[in-house]
Amino acid sequence: MNRPGWGALPWRRWGLLAALALALAAAPLVLAPYAVTTLTRILVFALLAVSLDLLVGYTGLPSLGHGAYFGVGAYAAGWVAIHATASAPVTLAVAAAAGGLVAVFAGLVAVRARGVYFLMLTLAIAEIVQQLAESWHDVTGGSNGLYGIPAATLGGNALVGDQPVYWWVLAVFAAGILVLRAIAASPLGDTLRGICDNEARMRALGYRVYLYKLAAFVIAGSIAGLAGGLLAAQQRLVTPGDLGLGTSIPALLAVIIGGEGSLWGPCFGAAVVIVIRDYLGSTLGGHGSLLLGVVFVAVVYLLPGGLARAIRGRT
């Protein structure tokens, strides 16, 4: 049950956290536009990774299909922005609701399984969602994707340009992290940790494990949908690739590389993954996933528990 990082932060760490928040908020004032876009992508992806960590690190449910809920959120936000309103809070609320709703149906089936079995099921379900996105032309635009998403508006002002989008993403990211932290520190979080550590015992204590797992799955799906809504607001284009393995695998890599069961670990992992895939990948002639695979294998072999445990072990 002792997993530092998600629990109560010692007070002296608040200073560090405040400094980090300030640095993130001030970053677009000093960084080049390309770096700001990359940082935005990292924040979106980090929110996805942390929501996945609620399943992988917390509840012991390794999902290899978390991109599905992210993508569903992105499609929902994009569709609402095109057909109804581009109001940023509304699109995000719809995105989170859509991600959560799909997670309810998927979770009813998936959380019956455990361990690697769960991994297979989430993978299969996500693939089916992706096929749906490719074949449901009227809503999703098929394999061309959903394009022409208008810029999100906030209080009547359109969020145009790198900096406003970045700040909006940063604000929602911070809110999402706070929500996940509150859940982790709540009795629900304790129960989930208990299920992860010893499911049979929790069951014997009278906990309805199935419902708790389903709750975790739906919350994680909903936050992933929220992150998807941010993606739609940022790139203003959603394609079936956004909800396939091309998203799910990097998200799981981010959690494993960063260290499951810690809050900042997956965020850091997300940064590593995005930098390798989008930045180093283009300089290596498009072989980002090769490098990603090598880093991943190295982490699995050499750093069980990811960077978070490696650093924690040293201090």
Partner 1 sequence: MPAWLDTHLVSLLNGLAIGCLLFILAIGLSLVFGMMDVLNLAHGVLFLTGAYLAWSIAGADPSWAGFLAAIAAAAAVGALAGAILSLGTERLARRSHLDQALLTLGAALIAADALSAAFGDDVHAVNPPPGLDGSILLFGKAYPVYRLSLIAVGLALAGAVHWIVERTSLGALVRATVADREMVSAIGVDERVVKVVVFAIGSTLAAVAGVLGAPVYGAGPGLDAAVLILALVVVVIGGLGSVRGALVGALIIGQIETLGRALFADLASFVLFGALALVLIVKPKGLFADSGRSRS
Applying CB under 8 A, which residues contact partner 1?
62, 64, 109, 112-117, 119-121, 123-125, 127-128, 131-132, 135-136, 244-245, 249, 252, 256, 287, 289-290, 292-294, 296-297, 300-301, 304
Tell me how far, at minimum, the Cβ of 116 lies from partner 1, in Å.
5
By beta-carbon proximity to partner 1, the closer residue of 97 and 120 is 120
**Shortest separation between residue 169's beta carbon and partner 1, angstroms:** 27
Sign of the alpha-carbon dihedral angle for 178, 259, 232, 110:
negative
What kind and span of H or E run contains 269? helix 264-274
Q: Is the CB of 24 or the CB of 127 nearer to partner 1?
A: 127
Rg for the chain, CA atoms, rounded = 19
Q: Which amino acid is at 151?
A: A
Separation in Å, CA 126 to CA 91, 118, 191, 256? 22, 12, 27, 20
- Ramachandran bin of 63, using left for φ above 0, alpha for ψ from -120 to 50, beta for the remaining angles: beta
Taking alpha carbons only, the member of 25, 248, 222 closest to residue 122 is 248
Closer residue to partner 1, CB minimum distance, 55 or 86: 55
Q: How far is the CB of 120 from partner 1 (least distance, A)?
A: 5
**Whose Cβ is closer to partner 1: residue 60's or residue 225's?**
60
Nearer to partner 1, 186 or 282 (CB): 282
Q: Whole-number minimum distance, CB 61 to partner 1, in Å?
A: 10
